[in-house]
């Protein structure tokens, strides 16, 4: 990391004490994994999910060593409706209710539009947009019946700002923002809040290794702090949106970004 001084990792304050949360795409070192850890530090019971079963079990084992009894895992491909239903059903069976859902699953890629195949376009939208839709729909059904809850979706600044080679991903993330706003209006009568975060550049060591130095330099140059965000910095905002501190917010898309205005 370059630029300004590294951020301070804040300790938990019990903001989600006693809540049950489901987090998709939570295996690994990205935003989902960071959110799972932050939720556990804030006192939540967490069900992590991911399409990568082996990596998911490794993540569950690592977290369980620190947070005994507070974390469980269910593999789920968000493009499969049956698996989505099974995921949320497991959370309700285990804990009796569903309080928080973080829709983090998404798929990226880089391709010029003129060369993009139907399969590339469809795959990104099916995971990133349709997966968020499937999980939101299922979560709302449970939350409607239990009398409330919170949903936080993961969008991206590319849903607002054009970037070459990202037409499929940008279209999916812009649609996630629109889905968030519409779902929020419908969910309000159930006592459910629906918001989204929109990160600009959040990196972790594994992603840095597969990102060219030139591209990383170009991306960080757009950030006022001269560095990328740590995944837990995005997770902090997700904690805020999931907690009572944002009780009057719904239908909002919160940029987690230091990009120049």
Residue 1 lies in a domain: no
- Is 228 annotated in the active site? no
Is the overall model pTM greater than 0.85, yes or no?
Answer: yes
Q: DSSP code of 108?
A: -
Residue 218 lies in a domain: yes
Residue 114 lies in a domain: yes
CATH number assigned to the domain comprising residue 206:
3.40.50.720
Predicted confidence (pLDDT) per residue in 144-196, tens digit: 999 999 999 999 999 999 889 999 999 999 999 999 999 999 999 999 999 99
Q: Which domain holds residue 100?
A: 18-254
Cα–Cα separations (whole angstroms), residue 24 to 69, 103, 135, 218: 19, 6, 9, 29
Total count of domains within the chain: 1
- The residues, any chain, with a CB within 8 Å of residue 20's CB and separated by 6 or more, are 44, 45, 46, 47, 91, 94, 95, 96, 97, 98, 99, 100
Q: Give the per-residue pLDDT at 237.
A: 98
Of 47-61, 96-110, 196-210, the least confident: 196-210
The residue from 9, 169, 190, 245 that is catalytic is 169
């Amino acid at each position: 990391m370059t630029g300004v001084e590294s951020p301070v990792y804040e300790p938990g304050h019990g903001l989600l004490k006693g809540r049950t949360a489901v987090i998709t795409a939570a295996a690994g070192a990205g935003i989902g994994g960071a959110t799972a850890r932050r939720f556990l530090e804030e006192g939540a019971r967490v069900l992590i999910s991911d399409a990568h079963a082996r990596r998911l079990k490794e993540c569950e084992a690592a977290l369980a060593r620190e947070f005994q009894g507070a974390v469980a895992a269910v593999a789920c491909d968000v493009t499969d409706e049956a698996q989505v239903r099974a995921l949320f059903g497991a959370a309700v069976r285990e804990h009796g209710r569903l309080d928080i859902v973080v829709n983090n699953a998404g798929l990226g890629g880089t391709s010029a539009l003129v060369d993009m195949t139907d399969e590339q376009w469809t795959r990104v939208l099916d995971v990133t947009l349709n997966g968020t839709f499937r999980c939101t729909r299922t979560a709302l059904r449970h939350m409607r019946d239990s009398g409330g809850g919170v949903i936080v979706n993961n969008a991206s600044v590319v849903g607002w700002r054009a970037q070459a080679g990202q037409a499929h991903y940008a279209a999916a993330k812009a649609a996630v923002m629109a889905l968030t706003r519409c779902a929020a209006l419908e969910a309000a009568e159930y006592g459910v809040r629906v918001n989204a975060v929109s990160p600009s550049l959040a990196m972790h060591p594994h992603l840095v290794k597969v990102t060219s130095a030139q591209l990383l330099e170009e991306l960080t140059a757009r950030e006022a702090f001269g560095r990328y965000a740590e995944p837990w910095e995005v997770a902090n905002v997700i904690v805020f949106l999931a907690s009572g501190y944002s009780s009057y917010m719904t239908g909002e898309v919160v940029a987690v970004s230091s990009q120049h205005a």
